[in-house]
Amino acid sequence: MEFEHIPVLLDKVLECLTLRKNALIVDGTLGLGGYSEAFLKKDPSWRVVGIDRDAKARELSCKRLSVFGERFAALAGDYRDMKTLCAQAGIEQADAVVLDLGVSNMQLVDGERGFSFREDGPLDMRMNQSAGTSAAELVNTLSRDELTAIFRKYGEERFAWSIAGAIVNARAASPVKTTHELVELIRQGIPAPAMRKMNGHPARKVFQALRIAVNDELGALEQGMKEAFSLLAQEGRLIIVTYHSLEDRLVKYQFREWSEQGLGTLEPRKAEVPGEEEIERNPKSRSARLRGFFKKDLPDSAKGRMGPWRRV
Ligand SMILES: C[S@@+](CC[C@H](N)C(=O)[O-])C[C@H]1O[C@@H](n2cnc3c(N)ncnc32)[C@H](O)[C@@H]1O
């Protein structure tokens, strides 16, 4: 199967990457290597280390980036452990860390991975398929209250309680095994009038919620930002592209806290979003937001002042 992933907000990411010669960039969410390839092309003196917890993504991007020889290396693991992973590869500091959150197109279109409500397949959703708990295990073992909490917290799903009820009733007869079985139960849990008025696919929010829970995406982001900060050299840059408000809020507040502590500045000052042309070319970019932090010890006199974050 051929996979294509159109990198999101790539021009803006590249604009933010004003780095020294021989800079080392950690691409913490390597995916199919779209960003990494652009970094390696932007400056022939830069090196890139890509991290991904998905074995297939590493395999495909390593093939694609092999033309860059020793300027590129891939590491297996979770970006939340990037300091340890980099130390094991002999890297103590990075000039930039870039995170492009969420799933790649490759994961979405491959029905066998279970991320997509459009493709039928096993209800898996694990980015790292050799560890962790699958979506099917969550759906078949958590209580109605626990499922409701996940659907509300990570999917902001209005009908969380009744969808969880439909799941719990159905699994009493036989376990929910596939994405399309789950889609059918979600449809049953949404009242008909709401279903008629709905914009977009009725399963979108529950699938997002389960994916976030299965991969502990928000936990990884919280920990990963701290790891990234400590891995960054002075005058290093952290750039994060998010795809929903839960992620964006975490990034915004973390950057604001560092800025108040005088650990650096917000660069760019406000979140960047895709323009109309990019959204038309790649509708999946619609919800993307880019935020950046420039690590630089500020003088004591500047610490604790209201920063430019007020305007974000
Ligand atoms: C949106 S894609 C990145 C696409 C990439 N920027 C490109 O241009 O090809 C996100 C990738 O990050 C990986 N990923 C998500 N969370 C991760 C984590 N905590 N640790 C490591 N990889 C992660 C996913 O497996 C996926 O391959």
Ligand 1 atom closest to Cα of residue 35: 8
- What confidence score (pLDDT) does residue 296 get? 93
Among 63, 57, 60, smallest CA distance to 77 is for 57
Say which amino acid occupies 278.
E
User: Which domains does the chain possess?
Assistant: 10-106+217-311 (3.40.50.150), 129-214 (1.10.150.170)
Give the integer Cα–Cα distance in Å for 40 and 138.
40
pLDDT tens-digit map of 108-119: 889 999 999 999
Question: Is pLDDT above 70 for 311?
Answer: no
- What confidence score (pLDDT) does residue 4 get? 73
Question: Is pLDDT above 60 for 304?
Answer: no
CA atoms within 13 A on the CB side of 96: 28
Among 299, 242, 289, smallest CA distance to 265 is for 299
pLDDT tens-digit map of 9-66: 999 999 999 999 999 999 999 999 999 999 999 999 999 999 999 999 999 999 999 9
Centroid of ligand 1 to alpha carbon of 22 (angstroms)? 24
Give the long-range contacts of residues 254-261, CB within 8 A, separation 24 or more. 254/222, 254/225, 255/291, 255/293, 255/309, 256/307, 256/309, 256/312, 258/229, 258/293, 258/295, 259/293, 259/307, 259/308, 259/309, 260/303, 260/304, 260/305, 260/307, 260/309, 261/303, 261/304
- Pocket probe mutation, ligand 1, options 52, 108, 282, max atoms within 8 Å of Cβ: 52
Ligand 1 atom closest to Cα of residue 32: 9
240 sits in which H/E element:
strand 232-242
| Structure tokens given for 210 | 């389960």
Q: Are strands 24-27 and 94-100 parallel, antiparallel or unpaired?
A: parallel
Centroid of ligand 1 to alpha carbon of 28 (angstroms)? 7
Q: Is 302 exposed, middle or buried (0-12, 13-18, 19+ CB in 10 A)?
A: exposed
- Pocket probe mutation, ligand 1, options 30, 85, 129, 290, max atoms within 8 Å of Cβ: 30
Q: Is 67 exposed, middle or buried (0-12, 13-18, 19+ CB in 10 A)?
A: exposed
Ligand 1 atom closest to Cα of residue 38: 8
* Residue nearest to ligand 1 atom 8, measured at CA: 34
Task: Tell me what percent of the residues of the chain surpass a pLDDT of 70.
Answer: 95
Question: pLDDT band for position 2 (50/70/90)?
Answer: low
Centroid of ligand 1 to alpha carbon of 166 (angstroms)? 32
Question: Is pLDDT above 80 for 5?
Answer: no
pLDDT tens-digit map of 257-283: 999 999 999 999 999 999 999 999 999
Among 1, 198, 242, 30, smallest CA distance to 119 is for 1
- Tell me which residues have their CB closer than 6 angstroms to ligand 1: 5, 7, 29, 31-35, 51-54, 57, 78-80, 100, 102-104, 127, 220
Question: pLDDT band for position 144 (50/70/90)?
Answer: very high
Give the integer Cα–Cα distance in Å for 20 and 93.
14
Q: Enter the pTM of the model.
A: 0.93
Peptide bond into 283 cis (omega under 30): no
